[in-house]
Amino acid sequence: MPSQPPEKYSGSVGQNFVAFDFAQGARLARWKYGEHDLIGTFGSDPVEHGFYIMAPWAGRLSNNSLTWGDQTKEFPCNYGEFALHGFALDTPPDSVFIEQSAESITVVTTHHIKDWLGPLVIEASWQIHADSLITTLRARTSASEPVPVLMGWHPWFRNHLSDGQTLSIDFGDAEIAVREGSLPTGQLERATVSDGSFDDAFKISNKTVTLKWGKDLALQVTSSHEWFVIFNQLQDFTCVEPQNGPPNVFHNSIGSQTYTTTQDDPLELRAEWFFK
What's the CA gap between 75 and 83, in Å, rounded? 6
d(CA 147, CA 48): 28
Query: What's the whole-number mean pLDDT along residues 73-82?
Result: 93
Q: Is residue 200 part of a domain?
A: no
Task: State the Cα angle at 9 between 4 and 10, rounded to 5°.
Answer: 170
Instruction: Map residue 263 onto helix, strand or coil.
Output: coil
> What is the structure's pLDDT at 69?
86
Summarised one tens digit per residue, pLDDT across range 7-66 is 999 999 999 999 999 999 999 999 999 999 999 999 999 999 999 999 999 999 989 999
What is the distance between the alpha carbons of residues 229 and 154, in angstroms, rounded to a whole number? Answer: 9
Domains contained in the chain, number: 1
d(CA 47, CA 62): 19
Q: What SS3 class is residue 250? A: helix
As beta bridge partners, residue 128 has 105, 133
The predicted structure's pLDDT at residue 249: 87
| Residue 122 in domain | yes
**252, part of any domain:** yes
Domain harbouring 89, CATH code: 2.70.98.10
Going from the C-alpha of 35 to that of each of 15, 31, 105, the distances in angstroms are: 8, 11, 20
With b for 16 or more beta-carbon neighbours within 10 A and e for fewer, the 59-86 pattern comes to bbbbebebebeeeeeebeebeeebbbbb
The CA R_g of the chain, rounded to the nearest whole Å, is 18
Asked if residue 87 lies in contact with residue 115, where contact means CB atoms within 8 angstroms, the answer is yes
Predicted confidence (pLDDT) at residue 255 exceeds the cutoff of 60: no
pLDDT at residue 180 in the model: 83
User: Which backbone phi and psi does 158 adopt, to 5 degrees?
Assistant: -75, 135
Q: What is the mean pLDDT of residues 218-236?
A: 96
C-beta of residue 188 within 8 angstroms of C-beta of residue 177: yes
Q: For residue 44, count CB atoms less than 10 angstroms from its CB and return exposed for 0-12, middle for 13-18, buried for 19 or more.
A: exposed
The DSSP secondary-structure symbol of 48 reads G
pLDDT score of 179:
85
The pLDDT tens digits of the residues spanning 138-154 come to: 999 999 999 999 999 99
Q: Domain for residue 3, yes or no?
A: no
Is 176 inside a domain boundary?
A: no
For residue 77, give its domain range.
8-166+234-275
Q: Are 62 and 257 in contact (CB under 8 A)?
A: no
Strands 95-100, 71-74: pairing is unpaired
Inside any domain, residue 208: no
**Under a CB-based contact definition with an 8 Å cutoff, are residues 172 and 191 in contact?**
no
107 located within any domain: yes
Residue 226 falls within a domain, yes or no?
Answer: no
Cα-Cα-Cα-Cα dihedral sign, residues 239, 240, 244, 246: positive
Distances in Å between the alpha carbon of 211 and those of 38, 102, 145, 249?
A: 11, 27, 39, 26
pLDDT at position 1 = 41
Whole-number pLDDT of residue 253: 64
- Separation CA 138–CA 166 (nearest Å): 34
In this prediction, residues 128-134 reach a mean pLDDT of: 98
